[in-house]
């Protein structure tokens, strides 16, 4: 059986190669020009490492690529041979050639676990994209919940679909956004993670293909791998301009994934926002391919630029409710410590999810559900989200400013919302910078955590969680880490970071 899960056509690969900073134009060390096959091989290798061509993507036949690039077939054959020798290409007679990463490529070794605050000390922990609670709203929400609790204390407390009052409040919010929704279309979950886990269990079997944005949120990728999914990465559009719909159509046609998991709003890690037209076309593509589209709206409320006209939710393009399942969460809009998320789907899907819950976590805590319901009952939620947006905007501006001053050769687009920025690390390995940074007192996740199979080696993710002098110091330490990596010097373990956050 072929080992590839998606394909890149000759015109597409030629376009991607031309969009690079033409390695062919750069002289080799010593002033010699690189042979044509070498610059082609380098170009393909870079596209794989940056995730613009997914791992396990079938490359075009030599003759087709030669014609698209206007080079000889021998050049393409030599480039493919070089890529094979370096571990970036696998081939099998009759199945063609598909991209790979070499076994020794530095892959992330740790998850995205946040450091316990008491253990952080002077370490600046940029591992976790979550903000402290927007007080006084957490305290008020819990007080509201305590006031309502006696009504529930007399019941069994077992609500696998969620408390009726919260299901109603969440349904009403969708209706207010222009998506008529009944409480029967909502299941409350233990965070968005719990929602995606439940959907995976119900809708996919081990070994089935699930297409994902590339890059995507690391913990969900791992959750899906653990569930036995075969992940099919689909690169975001060039310059992070939302989704690459032709690439999605091709993957849905060629790999026929059972499910696709996407983040349309202020995507984690890149902050990308899919356009309304892309949303409409994505739903059409999923519907015609019979692929279930799971849309994660965890970041949706964190619009940071007030002048932005937000596109309609993806489920607005699926009025029948047969193609799209939406996942939401209180974690980013309010506080991750609540561990409250939800699913919005057709009532029959919700019924199946609820029935299956008996074999997983049974339900979510009543007190926390009441707290969120009490916020939603008044203007507490809106007020809390406003505080949250102001905090995130201030932090975003601070980290952008600090990066521009201390790491001028790092490249990034400034996201218009969300909690994360995706920085290209000036040609250095993001994994090595993460390692060196840890020794210099700053913790960042490297790019490959957010890719499938080792892509994005030249990136790190930075969250909007620090401001002022801490953001500045974080960039200073990252610049120190980058210098260590660039010079190959070991970190001076005698130097202690004295900055206290
Ligand atoms: C896109 C996305 N989905 C899900 C999650 C996890 O959400 P929760 O805390 O609700 O489980 C995160 C957290 O960063 C996220 O960014």
pLDDT tens-place string over residues 319-351 = 988 899 999 999 999 999 999 999 999 999 999
Find the 209 Cα to ligand 1 centroid distance in Å: 22
Find the 442 Cα to ligand 1 centroid distance in Å: 22
pLDDT of residue 136: 97
- Residue 331: C-alpha distances to residues 101, 131, 219, 297, 363 (Å): 34, 9, 14, 11, 17
Find the 296 Cα to ligand 1 centroid distance in Å: 8
- Work out the pLDDT band at 115, boundaries 50, 70, 90: confident
Residue 289 has pLDDT above 90, yes or no: yes
pLDDT tens-place string over residues 466-478 = 999 999 999 999 9
CB 458 within 8 Å of CB 386: no
Instruction: Kindly state the tokens that stand for 405.
Output: 């001053």
Candidates 412, 330, 316; CA nearest to 369 is: 330
- Work out the pLDDT band at 106, boundaries 50, 70, 90: very low
pLDDT tens-place string over residues 244-268 = 999 999 999 999 999 999 999 999 9
Helices (H) and strands (E) counted in the chain, each on its own, are: 16, 15
Instruction: Find the helix or strand (DSSP H, E) in which 235 lies.
Output: strand 230-235
Pocket of ligand 1, beta carbon within 6 A:
129, 191-193, 217, 220, 263, 268, 296, 298-299, 329, 331, 336, 341
Find the 201 Cα to ligand 1 centroid distance in Å: 18
Find the 417 Cα to ligand 1 centroid distance in Å: 15
Give every CB contact of residue 435 below 8 A, 6+ residues apart in sequence: none
Identify which of 298, 302, 334, 337 to mutate to test ligand 1's pocket (most ligand atoms within 8 A of the CB).
298
Find the 454 Cα to ligand 1 centroid distance in Å: 22
Find the 192 Cα to ligand 1 centroid distance in Å: 6
pLDDT of residue 27: 44
Candidates 273, 245, 302, 270; CA nearest to 451 is: 270
Q: How distant is the alpha carbon of residue 466 from its chain centre?
A: 20
CB 245 within 8 Å of CB 278: yes
Nearest alpha carbon, ligand 1 atom 5: 192
Q: State mean pLDDT over 229-235.
A: 93
Identify which of 329, 388, 419 to mutate to test ligand 1's pocket (most ligand atoms within 8 A of the CB).
329
Instruction: Kindly state the tokens that stand for 394.
Output: 């201030």
- Work out the pLDDT band at 459, boundaries 50, 70, 90: very high
Rounded CA separation 122/469 (Å):
13
- Work out the pLDDT band at 440, boundaries 50, 70, 90: very high
**Which atom in ligand 1 lies closest to the alpha carbon of residue 267?**
1
Nearest alpha carbon, ligand 1 atom 7: 192
Rounded CA separation 187/100 (Å):
39
- DSSP-based three-state secondary structure for 99: strand
**Which atom in ligand 1 lies closest to the alpha carbon of residue 190?**
11
Nearest alpha carbon, ligand 1 atom 4: 192
Find the 458 Cα to ligand 1 centroid distance in Å: 24
Residue 31 has pLDDT above 60, yes or no: no
Find the 139 Cα to ligand 1 centroid distance in Å: 23
**Which atom in ligand 1 lies closest to the alpha carbon of residue 340?**
10
Rounded CA separation 345/186 (Å):
7
pLDDT tens-place string over residues 393-437 = 999 999 999 999 999 999 999 999 999 999 999 999 898 899 899
Residue 99 has pLDDT above 60, yes or no: yes
Rounded CA separation 295/192 (Å):
11
pLDDT of residue 452: 85
Find the 248 Cα to ligand 1 centroid distance in Å: 23
Rounded CA separation 161/358 (Å):
11
Nearest alpha carbon, ligand 1 atom 14: 129
Q: State mean pLDDT over 69-96.
A: 90
Candidates 396, 390, 442, 449; CA nearest to 419 is: 396
Report which DSSP code applies to 336. Answer: G
Tally of CB atoms within 10 A around 437: 28
Identify which of 195, 218, 332, 420 to mutate to test ligand 1's pocket (most ligand atoms within 8 A of the CB).
332
* Beta-bridge partners for 293: 260, 324
**Which atom in ligand 1 lies closest to the alpha carbon of residue 418?**
16
């Amino acid at each position: 059986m072929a080992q590839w899960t998606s394909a890149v056509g000759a015109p597409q690969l030629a376009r991607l190669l031309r969009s690079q900073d033409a390695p062919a134009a750069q002289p080799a060390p010593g002033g010699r020009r690189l042979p044509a096959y070498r610059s082609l091989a380098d170009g393909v290798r870079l596209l794989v490492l940056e995730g613009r061509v997914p791992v396990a993507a079938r490359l075009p036949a030599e003759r087709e690529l030669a014609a698209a690039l206007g080079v000889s077939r021998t050049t393409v054959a030599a480039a493919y041979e070089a890529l094979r020798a370096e571990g970036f290409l696998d081939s099998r007679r009759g199945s063609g050639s598909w991209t790979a990463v070499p076994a020794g490529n530095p892959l992330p070794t740790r998850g995205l676990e946040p450091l316990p605050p008491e253990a952080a000390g002077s370490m600046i922990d940029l591992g976790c994209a979550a903000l402290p609670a927007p007080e006084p709203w957490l305290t008020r929400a819990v007080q509201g919940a305590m006031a309502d609790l006696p009504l529930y204390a007399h019941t069994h407390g077992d609500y696998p679909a969620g408390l009726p009052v919260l299901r109603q409040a969440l349904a009403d919010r969708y209706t207010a956004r222009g998506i008529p929704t009944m409480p029967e279309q909502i299941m409350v979950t233990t965070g968005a993670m719990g929602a995606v886990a439940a959907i995976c269990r119900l809708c996919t079997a081990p070994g089935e293909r699930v297409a994902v944005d590339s890059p995507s949120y690391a913990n969900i990728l791992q959750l899906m791998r653990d569930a036995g999914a075969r992940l099919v990465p689909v690169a975001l559009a060039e310059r992070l301009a939302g989704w690459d719909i032709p690439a999605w159509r091709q993957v849905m046609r060629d790999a026929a994934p059972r499910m696709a998991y996407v983040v349309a709003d202020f995507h984690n890690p890149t902050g990308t926002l899919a356009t309304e037209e892309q949303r409409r076309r994505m739903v059409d593509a999923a519907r015609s391919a019979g692929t279930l589209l799971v849309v994660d709206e965890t970041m949706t409320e964190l619009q940071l630029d007030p002048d932005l006209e937000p596109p309609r939710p993806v489920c607005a393009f699926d009025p029948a409710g047969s193609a799209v399942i939406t996942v939401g969460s209180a974690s980013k809009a309010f506080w991750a410590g609540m561990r409250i998320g939800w699913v919005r789907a057709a009532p029959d899907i919700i019924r199946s999810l609820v029935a299956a819950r008996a074999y997983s976590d049974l339900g979510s805590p009543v007190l926390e559900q009441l707290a969120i319901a009490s916020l939603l009952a008044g203007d507490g939620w809106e007020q809390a989200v406003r505080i949250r947006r102001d905090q995130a905007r201030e932090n975003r501006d601070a980290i952008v400013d600090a990066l521009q001053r201390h790491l001028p050769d790092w490249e990034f687009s400034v996201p218009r919302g969300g909690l994360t920025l995706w920085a290209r690390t000036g040609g250095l390995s993001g994994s090595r910078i993460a390692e060196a940074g840890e020794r210099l007192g700053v913790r960042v996740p490297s790019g490959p955590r957010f890719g499938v199979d080792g892509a994005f080696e030249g990136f790190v993710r930075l969250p909007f969680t620090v401001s002022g002098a801490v953001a500045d110091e974080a960039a200073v330490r990252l610049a120190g880490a980058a210098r260590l990596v660039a010079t190959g010097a070991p970190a001076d373990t005698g130097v202690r970071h004295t900055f206290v956050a």
